[in-house]
Structure 1
Amino acid sequence: MLFQIKSYLKFLWHSKNEHGVHSPFVFSLLTKCFYDKKPKPEYSILNNYRKSLLENKNFIDVTDFGAGSKVFKSTRRQISKIAQTAGISPKRAELLFRVTNYFKPKNVLEIGTSLGLASSSIALGSKESFLLSLEGCQNTQSVAENLFNKQFPDFNFEFVNSEFSKFLKDGLANSCDWNLIYFDGNHSKKATLEYFDLLLPTIDNDSVWVFDDIHWSSEMEEAWETIKKHPKVKVTIDTFQWGFVFFRHEQEKEHFIIRA
């Protein structure tokens, strides 16, 4: 916790808003997406999805997986408690909706479904998109899939129960270019960089990658620094909670620290 507090204070010291940005691409993203304060009808749908999970008092056996398919924790937890502690926050859910709505990606990959709170933001943000979401825990994934089938029966999505590294190493994610990837799985340096390398062949010029918890630990900050320096990465945006990565060939290599 002390590490995260220090990281956040450092972030606040260096961060800017749209007035400190001279890149037209990033300025447009901030003003038309990040800082869009207009109410959206989809926000109430996101809230209802969250409410249905928070009111679910059933218990499930939850298994978390580390890198290399190693099981490191298996516990019995209440669904409502998982939604309170492990899910994306309401503010972040709305931002992810706006990001997806802004870029309108054709194909979206999510690494780490959990209960589908972020998945619902992605699906509502671009209803024409195909969403493939990976989850290591079968019971958690089943809760999300059942709720999705009830609330979004007409959306084009597939939930897959698999250990992330195995799925990616088997090449099962290389069947298409992923226009948006949301990384919210294993928050370790080794796993994050492994996923990054395995998915690089799937990028196109307009791909958007979003990494969760880039300041979670010193290891995650090291992973973020490595990603920023990669020669194929052109623009990165640090919003403290998330790190945005863009591969646009026409852009100069720039890094932004933005309050969002």
Structure 2
Amino acid sequence: MWYSILSYLKFIISSTNQHGVHSPFIYDMVTKCFYDQTVYTAYSKLSRYRTHLLRNDSLIKITDLGPGSKKHKSETRQISEIAKTSGTTLKRSKLLFRLTQYLNPQNMLELGTSLGIATNALALGNPKSKIISIEGCPNIATFTKQQLKNHTNTTILTGDFNAYLQKLNTQSFDLIFFDGSHTKEATINYFNQLLPTTNNNSVFVFDDIYWSKGMTEAWEQIKKHPQVTVTIDTYFWGFVFFRKEQVKEHFKIRV
């Protein structure tokens, strides 16, 4: 807990808003996407999806392939509790919606489907895209497939990430959302495996980069990679770009 508090205080001191950004690409993203105040009609769909989960008290048995929840160690949990403690918040799902609408990615990959709150936002942000989402827990994957059945552009795969990444790393992805195993080793491993899938406009989005000291170390290591040109640290998410025309810069933006 203390690590999270101290890291957040350091972030607040060192971060800025659009006025501290001199890169035209990042300035446009911050002003037209991050700080976009438009109330999109899709927001009501995002809210309904999350509210539906928060009202679902049915039990589900969890098979956790990662480090698991910091708050819950029980194998059996309520859908509502997972949505409340582990699911993407409404504010962040709105940002994810705006991000996909702004960048218009055609092919997306998500590591860690969970209850599909983020997946739903990705799909609504660009209904014409193709989304592959991987979930390690079979019971959650089965549940979420049913919840997302109307998103015909979304495919949910069940199993260990590494088994699928060996098959998927020959494809090209415009956006990858990393929300699976929150460990340093796994995060760096997934990053390295998926580097071959990038193009000049690709973006990697890493969830919970200050979840632990190890996750922050992974984030710092990723920032230094020679193929990485621009990064944005919003505290809860880390954005990584590979645009060859950009000089290497790192931004901390309050969202």
**TM-score after normalising by structure 2:** 0.96
**Is contact 2:111–2:134 with CA below 8 Å preserved after alignment?**
yes
Residues 170, 196 of structure 2: 8 Å contact kept: no
Match of 1:254 in 2: 249
Matching residue's letter, 1:206: N
Shift of 1:66: 3.3
> Is residue 2:163 matched to residue 1:166?
yes
1:233 pairs, out of 204, 228, 234, with 228
Question: What is the letter of the counterpart of residue 130 of structure 1?
Answer: K
Residue 9 in structure 1 maps to residue 6 in structure 2 = no
- Amino acid paired to 2:162: S
Letter of the aligned partner of 1:249 in structure 2? Answer: K
Deviation digits for residues 153-199 of structure 1 (CA, Å, limit 9, x no counterpart): 4x31100001112221xx22124201000000000000000000000
Structure 1 residue 52: deviation in Å? Answer: 1.4
Partners of 1:239 and 1:47 lie apart in 2 by 22
C-alpha distance in structure 2 between counterparts of 1:142 and 1:83, whole Å: 16
1:56-106 deviation digits (Å, cap 9, x = unpaired)? 121110110038xxxxx7601111111111100110000000001101101
1:132 and 2:132 correspond: yes
Could you tell me which runs of 5 or more consecutive residues in structure 2 were left unpaired when the two chains were aligned: 68-72
> Aligned partner of 2:251: which letter?
F
Q: Kindly tell me the number of residue pairs found equivalent between the two proteins.
A: 250
RMSD of Structure 2 on Structure 1 (CA): 1.1
Q: Does 1:184 align with 2:179?
A: yes
Equivalent residues of 2:56, 2:80 under 8 A apart: yes
Distance in 2 (CA, whole Å) between partners of 1:190 and 1:125 is: 31
| 1:63–1:74 contact (8 Å) kept in structure 2 | no
Q: Deviations over 1:132-169 (max 9, x none)?
A: 000000111111110111xx24x31100001112221x
SS at 2:109 equivalent: strand
Q: Which runs of 5+ in 1 are unaligned?
A: 68-72
| 8 Å CA contact 1:34, 1:95 repeated in 2 | yes
Cross-structure match for 2:191: 196
Aligned residue type for 1:258: I
CA distance, structure 2, for counterparts of residue 127 and residue 239 of structure 1:
26
Q: 2:215 aligns to what SS in structure 1?
A: helix
1:242 aligns with 2:237: yes
Over the matched positions of the two proteins, sequence identity in percent amounts to: 52
Mapped pair 1:223 → 2:182 = no
Paired residue secondary structure (2:123): helix
Conserved 8 A contact 2:201-2:241? yes
1:8 positional shift: 0.3
In structure 1, the partner of 2:70 is none
Q: After TM superposition, where is structure 1 displaced by more than 6 Å over at least 4 residues in a row? A: none
Q: Secondary structure at the match of 1:77?
A: strand
One-letter code of the match for 1:21? V
Kept in 1: contact 2:208–2:235 (CA 8 A): yes
Counterpart-to-counterpart distance in 2, 1:124 and 1:254: 30
Question: What residue in structure 2 maps to residue 70 of structure 1?
Answer: none
